Amino acid sequence: MSFAVIQTGGKQYKVSASEILKIERLENAEGKTVEFKNVLFLNDDNSTEIGNPNIKGAKVEATILKNTRNKTVLVFKKRRRKNSRKKYGHRQPISLVRITKIFSKDGKLIAEAGPQKKITKKIVKADSAREKQIIEAKKTKDEKDKKIKKSVKKIEAKVQKVAKNIEKTETKKKPLTTKKK
């Protein structure tokens, strides 16, 4: 399996063909092709190349899937015994990229991605996860409602039986005192 180690946004990533990455925001538009020329390491099935610090001529091509923002990171600062607290959040801008091709220093194609599938579950927004939780909660609520309705029907049936029994016993009762003739 061939892979490369690239550097972008001050970080290093181990990438292979058709892999989807979250990287620091790129200024290009969605759907555009981007080249990463800071390739630090290349590994093919046959050979391995190590850069000093980069491999000249090697590059990795990727397509930008989406420019978005990452999950919220909460920042909480507290100074003890000073009654001073500060809480705020930060959402780092990111780009989702799909690695399409990896080239060696000779310009030879090492790895190429296959046809693009739908965006995987790794990229599903937090909103959709919340929607799933809401749907599951509704299902459990519906099930609970059905159980409650069944138990209410059973109780109503028992009440009706008891009421009928009471009516029967009242009609059959003899008076407590008998009149003498």
| Residue 161: per-residue pLDDT | 86
End-to-end CA separation in angstroms for the chain: 115
Q: Per this entry, what is the length of the chain?
A: 181
Residue 178: its pLDDT value, please? 65
Q: What are phi and psi of 119, to 5 degrees?
A: -60, 135
pLDDT on residue 174: 63
pLDDT tens-digit profile of 113-137?
Answer: 888 766 555 554 555 666 777 788 8
Helices assigned H by DSSP within 63-125: none
- Alpha-carbon gap, residue 1 to 64, rounded angstroms: 23
Residues of the chain predicted below pLDDT 70: 117-130, 170-181
Q: pLDDT value at position 114?
A: 84
Contact 45, 79 (CB under 8 A): no
Closest to 97 measured CA to CA, from 39, 1, 27: 27
Looking at residue 35, its amino acid is E
